[in-house]
Chain A
Amino acid sequence: MAELAVDVSGLGKRYRVGIGADYTTLREHMSMLFGSRRAVREDEEPRELWALQDVSFSMRQGDVLGIIGRNGAGKSTLLKILARITEPTTGAARIHGRLASLLEVGTGFHEDLTGRENVFLNGVVLGMSRREVQVRFDEIVEFSGVSRFLDMPIKRYSSGMKLRLAFAVAAHLDTEVVVVDEVLAVGDSEFQRRCLGKMSDLQRSGRTVLFVSHDLGTVAQLCPRTIWLAAGKIHADGPTEEVIGAYQQSFGAPEIAARLDRAGGGPVRLDSVRLVTSDGAGLEQLRRGDPFTIELCFTNDETVIGLDVGIYLEDSRGVRPLDEGLSEVVGLDIDLSAPGPHKLLLDVPAPLAAKEYLVGVWLGTRTEDFFDEPALRFEIKPALEDSRDAIGKSRVLHGTGRWRVMSP
């Protein structure tokens, strides 16, 4: 049995929100000490926020653990405590050996220093000794691919070059425990592939790795075990497949139903949004070029005359390659006014770039909006035969989707 490498027990982190939370001026502090305490207490009572609560887990040497969860679930706080950037409020985190975090590539980089100077500075900042940097210097430079510009201030580098250099330094840290946070999401695909290769190397060389990502595909590929953090607590901890499955489920119907309740009042409830194949089977993964269908289930509480549906896809830069309205289609005879459940399908033609998208849904009539929100997030992966930068281009598809109704 391998030795214990990471041991986290009863970890909690409380942040105070409101008074005394941020940096203050001396005057504010004085007035809190001597001044009118009552006025303070009345409207702005300091609130507490537990970013992490009662988190315990351990890892043995050579383990690779994925950590997933939505924004604000406590992932970064956990990493910050593991990396000793901040202290926990309760509990303790023990790390056997040295820990390097690839969460902050390029920390300490200075624009006016040359690439060479930055490699040394950054290496030492991340916990290497100058000797160690010296020994690995050639390797680092080669990995980064910026050797020709080493003696140029990095302010003249392109952002891609900076990033590659930064990752190269971080990737050559020789620590026992490595924490990786989302770094793989940057750079061109060729570089991403090299990063992934480096990750597998880490794993093979027996390093203990914590991998935090929104990219469930990569988590599944790299980590046998995954922890799902939700609202600062461990929601699930187990084999990656199970945890990711449960996590993805949580994006389905229940949340949307809950969200509609909050919008409140409308006669139409959105029940679920899913990606399916053209014959309605569930989809695990999408690659560039795969056709897919968006399935929308909703329920009318009463007869809604003139109910119309819109579906759009939006990428992270806000571009909408697809934006379809049911009533815009000429000659389509779909009537959704009847009370009860409805199921609507939209076949999406293939040419979409490989990246993340939000599915936005609008339900309403000419005079009223019942629902208008992003309802689902998904990612299209590069096609298997894709090489280098071929994430592909999205063609704008307005009006090319095919609407279908199915009996729910």
Chain B
Amino acid sequence: MQGKPSAPPEPVSPAEQEPQPEPVGGRTPGGEPARDDPRTAWVVNRAPTARWQGVDLAEAWRYRELAYMLALRTFKLRYRQTFFGIAWALLQPLVALAIFAVIFGRFAKLPADGIPYAVFVFPALCIWTYVSTAVSAASLELVSHQELVTKVYFPRVLAPVSALLPGIVDLVISLSLAGVLMAATGVAPGPAILLLPMWILLSCLVALGSGLWLAALNVRYRDVRHTLPFLLQTWLFVSPVVYSSSLIEDGWLRALYSLNPMVAVIDGLRWSLLDAPAPPAYDLLSGAVTILLVVTGLVYFRASERKFADVI
């Protein structure tokens, strides 16, 4: 049974060889569901034929309730048995704000596009807190839900996706506090405020793209867990959280800088919320990297997905 010469059945493109079952009762027994009703559709688990393919998004959509339930579970559990409860959503960015405001605002006197420094930094901190929390949750989600992955079927992509959701509640709460802060200091948003949801959505995509990559990598290489804090810290300082993008001079350096997907998110957020200068064309680069990250993330995730239950 063990050892190589045990003559396994030839693994030569099994898909072509296998006899199709005869169609019974007018249904199609192939891969295609006869109708959309899962009760009468054929579900097929066959040896993989192609190495690269995308995640089955339609199926993931059918399972959307599971993502919602997993997110709900995380959300319910997050603040259960904590003393401060939901106030943690505010405490985290507020403490960071206090530190950054003193160090960078007071001592380093970083320019803030003419906006009071604390007000300038806080919304960026909120969205950064969201993205960094979501990315680390998404990367560890599969491994921390091992028991689920090895015991029931669900589109695996839902694990990192569900990790993106609970943080949005925190984000909305902390952004409302940013509103209070703005009102107190007399900073008013311009018409670009209408685009606010777009930047939040973009931040979700950034978290999704990086989360997919890291989640799939983390299943194979547990190094990810150790790299993550370092990676996130570096990411924070190459993103315009505590400083303004206008600090970077135009040219190749600016282009390089704009490869960071967070640049467009934060520039856009400041524009919408604080009426800061509109994001420059460079930020299109940043957006493009985000899209690339999500697309390649989906493909890479799918490629490693089939091994998850065996490897995890």
Interface residues, chain A, with chain B CB atoms under 8 Å away: 3-4, 7, 9-10, 12, 14-15, 17, 22-27, 29, 45, 47-50, 53-54, 58, 80-99, 101, 103-104, 107-108, 110, 112-113, 117, 120-121, 124-127, 129-130, 176, 231-232
> Is B220 in the interface zone, CB < 8 Å from A?
yes
> Is B169 in the interface zone, CB < 8 Å from A?
no
Q: For residue B19, which residues in chain A have a CB less than 8 angstroms away from its CB?
A: 9
Known contacts A9-B18, A23-B311, A96-B42; A54 and B9 CB within 8 A of each other: yes
What's the minimum C-beta distance from B27 to chain A, rounded to whole angstroms?
8
In the complex formed, the residue of B with least CB distance to A93 is: B45
- Report 5 cross-chain contacts, Cβ distance below 8 Å, ordered by A residue: A26-B223, A80-B309, A82-B45, A92-B14, A94-B29
A104 to B69, CA, bound (A): 18
A47 to B4, CA, bound (A): 6
> Is B24 in the interface zone, CB < 8 Å from A?
yes
State whether A17 touches B2 (Cβ < 8 A). yes
What's the minimum C-beta distance from B187 to chain A, rounded to whole angstroms?
41
State whether A125 touches B11 (Cβ < 8 A). no
Q: For residue A127, which residues in chain B have a CB less than 8 angstroms away from its CB?
A: 152
> Is B219 in the interface zone, CB < 8 Å from A?
yes
Known contacts A26-B223, A53-B9, A176-B39; A85 and B29 CB within 8 A of each other: no
State whether B14 touches A25 (Cβ < 8 A). no
State whether A47 touches B2 (Cβ < 8 A). yes
Query: Of B44, B69, B76, B219, which one neighbours A125 at CB under 8 angstroms?
Result: B69
Tell me which of A15, A125, A231 has the highest count of chain B C-beta atoms within 10 A of its own C-beta: A125
Binds A, one of B87-95, B143-151, B289-297: B143-151
Query: Of B3, B9, B306, which one neighbours A12 at CB under 8 angstroms?
Result: B9
In the complex formed, the residue of B with least CB distance to A29 is: B221
State whether A88 touches B46 (Cβ < 8 A). yes
Known contacts A15-B310, A120-B69; A98 and B43 CB within 8 A of each other: yes
What's the minimum C-beta distance from B219 to chain A, rounded to whole angstroms?
7
State whether A87 touches B47 (Cβ < 8 A). yes
Tell me which of A4, A45, A101 has the highest count of chain B C-beta atoms within 10 A of its own C-beta: A4
In the complex formed, the residue of B with least CB distance to A105 is: B151
State whether B80 touches A85 (Cβ < 8 A). no
Going nearest first, the 3 A-B pairs with the smallest beta carbon separation are A92-B46, A104-B151, A84-B153
State whether A121 touches B18 (Cβ < 8 A). no
A298 to B158, CA, bound (A): 60
State whether B21 touches A83 (Cβ < 8 A). no
Q: For residue A103, which residues in chain B have a CB less than 8 angstroms away from its CB?
A: 151
Known contacts A47-B3, A82-B45, A113-B76; A90 and B11 CB within 8 A of each other: yes
Query: Of A87, A101, A124, which one neighbours B45 at CB under 8 angstroms?
Result: A87
List 8 other contacts, CB 8 Å, given A3-B25, A25-B222, A97-B40: A3-B27, A12-B8, A22-B311, A48-B4, A50-B6, A80-B309, A90-B11, A96-B40
Query: Of A83, A96, A121, which one neighbours B153 at CB under 8 angstroms?
Result: A83
Beta-carbon contacts of B8-51 to A below 8 Å, as 1s and 0s?
11010011011101001101010000000011111111111000
Known contacts A91-B46, A94-B44; A124 and B66 CB within 8 A of each other: yes
> Is B184 in the interface zone, CB < 8 Å from A?
no
In the complex formed, the residue of B with least CB distance to A104 is: B151
A93 to B44, CA, bound (A): 6
Q: For residue B27, which residues in chain A have a CB less than 8 angstroms away from its CB?
A: 3, 96
Beta-carbon contacts of B119-158 to A below 8 Å, as 1s and 0s?
0000000000000000000000000000111111110000
State whether B43 touches A125 (Cβ < 8 A). no
Query: Of B1, B66, B311, which one neighbours A232 at CB under 8 angstroms?
Result: B1
In the complex formed, the residue of B with least CB distance to A87 is: B306
Q: For residue A126, which residues in chain B have a CB less than 8 angstroms away from its CB?
A: 152
State whether A97 touches B2 (Cβ < 8 A). no
In the complex formed, the residue of A with least CB distance to B223 is: A26
Q: For residue A120, which residues in chain B have a CB less than 8 angstroms away from its CB?
A: 69
B31-83 contacts to A, CB under 8 A, are 38-48, 65-66, 69, 72-73, 76-77, 80-81
What's the minimum C-beta distance from A2 to chain B, rounded to whole angstroms?
9
State whether B25 touches A95 (Cβ < 8 A). no
In the complex formed, the residue of A with least CB distance to B11 is: A90
Beta-carbon contacts of B203-226 to A below 8 Å, as 1s and 0s?
000000000000000011111000
Q: For residue B15, which residues in chain A have a CB less than 8 angstroms away from its CB?
A: 92
Known contacts A9-B18, A23-B311, A92-B18; A98 and B39 CB within 8 A of each other: yes
Q: For residue A112, which residues in chain B have a CB less than 8 angstroms away from its CB?
A: 77, 80-81
A54 to B1, CA, bound (A): 13
In the complex formed, the residue of B with least CB distance to A99 is: B43
State whether A110 touches B9 (Cβ < 8 A). no
A124 to B149, CA, bound (A): 14
Query: Of B3, B21, B47, B66, which one neighbours A94 at CB under 8 angstroms?
Result: B21
> Is B255 in the interface zone, CB < 8 Å from A?
no
State whether B8 touches A48 (Cβ < 8 A). yes
Known contacts A49-B2, A86-B310, A121-B69; A93 and B77 CB within 8 A of each other: no
A108 to B44, CA, bound (A): 24
What's the minimum C-beta distance from B144 to chain A, rounded to whole angstroms?
12
State whether B220 touches A24 (Cβ < 8 A). yes
What's the minimum C-beta distance from B142 to chain A, rounded to whole angstroms?
12
Tell me which of B14, B81, B219 has the highest count of chain A C-beta atoms within 10 A of its own C-beta: B14
